């Protein structure tokens, strides 16, 4: 019997990690039903990062399993028991579990697409056609069950017991040199991106396109003295632009949703000489943080540009602001003088206060009309610096199609 189990919202700002709960649950399933129960790698599903209820990265996990029909109830009890034991019930934490037996309902798939870009209600999760338990975490758990991964990548997440030793930047660069492009997003200058900074049990997490390269990267780190207590490989919707390709968007700006807006930049200004604030011809204001790198500088020089901006909408001072995460410059509107209406010649100044003269026929004009022309030349994609990329963003050069061909039987995926 095919069974899908989703888990979410088990961590807090003080500790815990939903991926760790998924890891422990997967090991228990492995013990009781063996490796043949797994129909795919455990899944790590990233959702809308702008949701105000999230603790850190807004990630849920799910397992696609095949167990005897008589064991479905036991599997459900095991999932709830693991969550109850390991969830950090503090602050905003409100864990939840969801399960589908047989086929995944279409309403759960729609819920996943909504959860990529919107704030979804608990009642929507209750109507997704799944068995659920718990609180607000039911939303992410149901979305993880309904997740479609036409494109995917992998992440090997290693866990620790005790102190987390800092990974030197040079070591991360060496690992990337030996595994790139099959691992990616490992280091940004001197900032190591594979190690978290919070109190969670994660030691390090390496993202990549093949499970074999992730296992090799883990063995390199282990040989250099960074030995985890255990690790698991998740298939994930990270780094594939799932929110852009699959997400359901509101036509109008809505608080805490992911949004894309096209328009012409009418003006920009620096706030305190740091962060950039601008506005489009539609009236929508946007913010670009200074620490995003060249994005703020590029858009500051782009008044008059036709742009498509992507980011999260947040209320501020009674208005909604778009906090930009990526920008496409599609073109620029430029002023150009009209030519002579009689002969088509270009116009030149006839002197201070004397108007304009046609270079060909000599006709004088008191004023020279101007027109706007659309220049396609400045087309460009602007991304933040790598250390500021959100999980769902597809980095340049990443080919997630490679990851779709691997099954759990292809490699050791849990220790």
Which helix or strand (DSSP H or E) is residue 85 part of?
A: helix 72-86
Q: What is the CATH number of the domain that holds 282?
A: 2.40.50.1010
pLDDT at residue 76, rounded to an integer: 98
Per-residue model confidence as pLDDT tens digits over 324-344: 999 999 999 987 777 888 898
pLDDT at residue 129, rounded to an integer: 96
Q: Using an 8 Å Cβ cutoff, are 346 and 321 in contact?
A: no
Q: What is the CATH number of the domain that holds 221?
A: 3.30.70
Residue 290 or 82, more confident: 82
What residues have CB less than 8 Å from 171, skipping those under 6 apart?
221, 224
Residue 404 has which token pair? 């779709």
Q: Are residues 143 and 7 in the same domain?
A: yes
DSSP code of residue 168: P
Domain boundary among 131, 148, 165: 148
Per-residue model confidence as pLDDT tens digits over 243-270: 999 999 988 999 999 999 999 999 999 9
Q: Are residues 72 and 190 in the same domain?
A: no
Percent with pLDDT over 90 in the chain? 75
- Residue 314 is part of which domain span? 258-387
Q: Are residues 16 and 137 in the same domain?
A: yes
Whether 273 has a pLDDT exceeding 80, the answer reads no
> Nearest Cα to 220, choosing from 169, 175, 173, 170?
175
Distance between CA atoms of residues 391 and 395, nearest Å: 10
DSSP code of residue 350: -
Instruction: Tell me the pLDDT of the chain averaged across its residues.
Output: 93
Residue 343 or 231, more confident: 231
pLDDT at residue 245, rounded to an integer: 94
Number of domains in the chain: 3
Whether 297 has a pLDDT exceeding 70, the answer reads yes
Q: Are residues 139 and 162 in the same domain?
A: no
Q: Are residues 140 and 167 in the same domain?
A: no
Per-residue model confidence as pLDDT tens digits over 66-82: 999 999 999 999 999 99
Q: Are residues 137 and 39 in the same domain?
A: yes
Global confidence as pTM: 0.90
Q: Are residues 229 and 262 in the same domain?
A: no
Per-residue model confidence as pLDDT tens digits over 111-161: 999 999 999 999 999 999 999 999 999 999 999 999 999 999 999 999 999
Per-residue model confidence as pLDDT tens digits over 11-58: 887 778 999 999 999 999 999 999 999 999 999 999 999 999 887 778
Q: Are residues 160 and 38 in the same domain?
A: no
Q: Is residue 357 part of a domain?
A: yes
Q: Are residues 142 and 46 in the same domain?
A: yes
Q: Using an 8 Å Cβ cutoff, are 320 and 312 in contact?
A: no
Biggest distance spanned by C-alpha atoms of the chain = 95
Q: Are residues 7 and 141 in the same domain?
A: yes
Per-residue model confidence as pLDDT tens digits over 342-372: 898 888 888 887 888 899 998 888 776 677 7
Residue 92 has which token pair? 């905003």
Per-residue model confidence as pLDDT tens digits over 377-415: 788 999 999 989 999 999 988 989 888 889 898 889 999
Distance between CA atoms of residues 379 and 330, nearest Å: 5
């Amino acid at each position: 019997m095919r069974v899908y189990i989703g888990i979410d919202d088990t961590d807090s700002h003080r500790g815990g990690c939903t991926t760790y709960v998924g890891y422990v649950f997967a090991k228990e399933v492995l013990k009781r039903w063996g490796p043949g129960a797994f129909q795919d790698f455990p899944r790590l599903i990233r959702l809308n990062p702008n949701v105000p209820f999230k603790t850190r990265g807004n990630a849920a996990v799910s397992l696609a399993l095949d167990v005897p029909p008589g064991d479905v109830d036991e599997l459900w009890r095991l999932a709830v028991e693991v969550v109850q034991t390991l969830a950090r019930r503090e602050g905003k934490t409100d864990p939840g579990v969801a399960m589908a037996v047989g086929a995944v309902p279409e309403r759960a798939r729609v819920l996943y697409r909504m959860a990529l870009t919107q704030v979804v209600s608990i009642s929507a999760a209750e109507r997704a056609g799944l068995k659920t338990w718990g609180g607000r975490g039911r939303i992410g758990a149901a979305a993880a069950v309904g997740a479609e991964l036409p494109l995917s990548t992998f992440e090997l997440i290693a866990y620790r017991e005790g102190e987390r030793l800092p990974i030197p930047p040079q070591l991360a660069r060496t690992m990337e040199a030996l595994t790139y492009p099959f691992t990616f997003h490992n280091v940004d200058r001197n900032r190591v991106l594979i190690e978290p900074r919070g109190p969670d049990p994660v030691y390090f997490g390496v993202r990549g396109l093949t499970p074999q390269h992730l296992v090799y990267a883990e063995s390199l780190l282990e040989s250099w003295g960074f030995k985890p207590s255990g690790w698991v490989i998740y298939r994930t919707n990270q780094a594939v632009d799932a929110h852009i390709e699959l997400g359901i968007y509101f036509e109008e700006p809505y608080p805490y949703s992911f949004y894309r807006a096209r328009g012409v930049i009418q003006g920009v200004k620096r706030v305190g000489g740091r962060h950039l604030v601008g506005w489009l011809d539609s009236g929508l204001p946007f913010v670009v943080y200074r620490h995003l790198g060249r994005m703020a500088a590029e858009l500051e020089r782009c008044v008059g540009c036709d742009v498509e901006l992507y980011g999260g909408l947040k209320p501020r001072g009674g208005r909604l602001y778009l906090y930009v995460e990526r920008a496409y410059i599609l073109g620029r509107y430029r002023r150009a003088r009209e030519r002579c209406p009689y002969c088509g010649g270009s116009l030149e100044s006839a002197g201070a206060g004397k108007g304009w003269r046609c270079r060909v026929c000599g006709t004088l004009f008191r004023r020279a009309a101007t027109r706007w022309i659309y220049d396609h030349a400045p087309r460009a994609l602007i991304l933040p610096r790598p250390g500021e990329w959100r999980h769902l963003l597809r980095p340049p050069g990443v080919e997630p199609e490679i990851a779709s061909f691997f099954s759990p039987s292809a490699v050791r995926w849990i220790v």
